[in-house]
Amino acid sequence: MLGRLNHVAIAVPDLQAAAAVYRDTLGARVSAAQALPEHGVTVVFIDTGNTKIELLEPLGEASPITAFLEKNPSGGMHHVCYEVDDILAARDRLQASGARVLGDGNPRIGAHGKPVLFLHPKDFLGTLVELEQA
């Protein structure tokens, strides 16, 4: 079921400053910022060759990462994203095993234009897991 690591997401209080660290200090290629109002975040992606780093900052007052940044004002790792071949089959298998899918359980379109789901961190060793259809 589990495919390759698609990205590691880091929540940041200032997206432009964080992107500059990766671009100017590490020499990374940084994508243009992309607002995702349906997810309450603005993101950029850093291409590392074999995977990506996603930097995300809150978009709007109801952003799901606002509480994370209140607890971690400097930012930090927010989630990991794995690819799956069939997101609905993965969801059904996970739910049958007792894993909790966040939200209403239905995939939403993510930053890459593909269906995504999030899994409760308490079911995955304290780590928020995103699944993205490959």
Domains along the chain with CATH numbers: 2-133 (3.10.180.10)
User: Which pLDDT score is estimated for 78?
Assistant: 97
From residue 127, alpha-carbon distances to 46, 78, 80, 100 in Å are 21, 8, 8, 13
Given the residues 54, 83, 130, 132, select the one marked as catalytic: 130
User: Which pLDDT score is estimated for 106?
Assistant: 96
CA–centroid distance for 40 within its chain: 12
List, for residues 12-50, the tens digit of each pLDDT value.
999 999 999 999 999 999 999 999 999 999 999 999 999
User: Which pLDDT score is estimated for 61?
Assistant: 84
**132 carries an active-site annotation:** no
Average pLDDT score, the chain: 96
* CA dist., res. 76 & res. 17, Å (int): 14
∠ CA 68-71-76, nearest 5°, is 60
